[in-house]
Homo-oligomer: A and B are copies of this chain.
Amino acid sequence: MADKVADAILFSAGHLRRFTTQVFEYFKVPPADAALAADVLAYSDEHGIDSHGIARLKTYFDLLQAGRINPQPEVKIIREKGSVATVDGDNGLGLVVGPQCMRIAMQKAHAHGSGWVSVSNTNHYGAAGYYPVMALQEDLIGLSMTNTTKGVAPFNGAEKMLGTNPIAIAFPAWKEPPVVIDFASSAVSYGKVEIARRKGQPVPEGWCIDKNGYATHDPAEMMEGGALLPLGGSEKGSGHKGYCLAGMVDILSAVLSGANWGPFATPFAIHVAPAGRQVGKGIGHFFGALDIEGFRDKTAFKQEMDAWIQTMRSTKPLPGIAQVLVPGDPERQAYQTRIRRGVPVDKEVAAALQAIADQTGIALLQQE
């Protein structure tokens, strides 16, 4: 992070939202959808998840411009039974399809105790954590997953077959802030390996392999035809467990919905051609919501969550660590700073935004 801020330009969070909204509107995304999509991206920027916010706007822009994403999708439930449904996202922005599907899961949770929606024919949906946080506003436990473009080798495999397939789940608390879990099922993100290459630093064992499947400390060797490893890394770190997680996400999101799974997942990049073989439509997401009141009095649950959070925070920390955190704390800390001081945007990303501003005539203003 320190390295990023040094190379960054500050923008106000509010201005980035307006800019993003206008960019989506430029492609005839309806105003309400454009604002929603901007909100999903802003969630990442404002919470310090730099890889999933405005940094991706250029790719959405390119794909919309190339006609590879439908700006006005008709999102439809194509099959349904009580608490579950399958939705066709009509090749819309994942940033628009995702929130609509999460709402369906939430409505089902209110009606049936839980709601589960598997989605096909959709695209990159931003940070997985945005969706369970929606559910918190209605005192539900929320969950989301998505498959993504291939980048990760299965355990004992020497080539990319699965995405970084993230999992997010959030639990409300009472006086404490909520527990918000959001992580990729790979050992690390592609971005972390990229940063190491830029700095000329080696990467630890367990992050990636080269194009022949050999473990490598050289980030360039991963980027030139190698692959990321699943969470756990190699055998001694129990890399089979990360492979299990990535597989679970892929099956629930894409096999269950009829989307492209595994190595066939639609790439989220203008310069990468879709896989030759199509096994479904677009990529897939999976959303869930649980009505706490169906299990237990919700106030009792939230108060117990406070005790859980306080107990985890009171863990004796490792030498040199001030305090054990709970999932969601780092993002909340980033939010406090960024809302006040602005969002640091990488110089290269800012240059790409300026190019969009020049092409569209939408004003891009740096923080005063």
* Chain A contacts to B: CB under 8 angstroms: 79-86, 111-114, 116, 118, 141, 153-159, 161, 169, 171, 179, 181, 183-185, 187-188, 204, 206, 209, 212-214, 231-233, 236-238, 240-244, 247-248, 250-252, 255-258, 261-263, 279-280, 290-296, 300-301, 304-305, 307-308, 311-312, 315-319, 321, 324-327
Query: Are A183 and B241 neighbours in the complex by a CB distance under 8 Å?
Result: yes
Contact A237-B294, Cβ < 8 Å, known A112-B112, A113-B81, A262-B311? no
How far, in whole Å, are A316 and B279 apart by their CA atoms in the complex?
20
| Chain A to chain B contacts (Cβ below 8 Å), 28 pairs | A79-B295, A81-B112, A81-B113, A81-B293, A81-B294, A82-B113, A83-B112, A83-B113, A112-B112, A114-B114, A116-B290, A118-B295, A156-B317, A156-B318, A158-B317, A159-B315, A161-B312, A171-B251, A183-B241, A213-B318, A213-B319, A232-B237, A233-B237, A237-B237, A255-B301, A256-B301, A262-B311, A279-B304
Query: Are B231 and A161 neighbours in the complex by a CB distance under 8 Å?
Result: no
Query: Are B187 and A295 neighbours in the complex by a CB distance under 8 Å?
Result: no
How far, in whole Å, are A80 and B293 apart by their CA atoms in the complex?
9
Contact A247-B326, Cβ < 8 Å, known A158-B315, A237-B206? yes
Closest B residue to A215 by CB, please name it. B318
Closest B residue to A181 by CB, please name it. B244
Closest B residue to A211 by CB, please name it. B316
The interface residues of chain B lying within 8 Å CB-to-CB of A179 are 247, 251
Contact A312-B214, Cβ < 8 Å, known A169-B248, A237-B206, A305-B251? no
How far, in whole Å, are A288 and B85 apart by their CA atoms in the complex?
16
Query: Are A158 and B316 neighbours in the complex by a CB distance under 8 Å?
Result: yes
Residue from the list B183, B305, B315, B318 in contact with A244, Cβ < 8 A: B183
A interface, by DSSP: helix, strand, loop or mixed? mixed
Query: Are B80 and A294 neighbours in the complex by a CB distance under 8 Å?
Result: yes
User: Which interface residue of A206, A238, A240 has the most chain B CB atoms within 10 A?
Assistant: A238
Contact A316-B213, Cβ < 8 Å, known A238-B231, A279-B304? yes
How far, in whole Å, are A312 and B251 apart by their CA atoms in the complex?
12
Q: Shortest Cβ distance from A316 into chain B, in angstroms?
A: 5
Contact A79-B296, Cβ < 8 Å, known A232-B187, A236-B204, A312-B247? yes
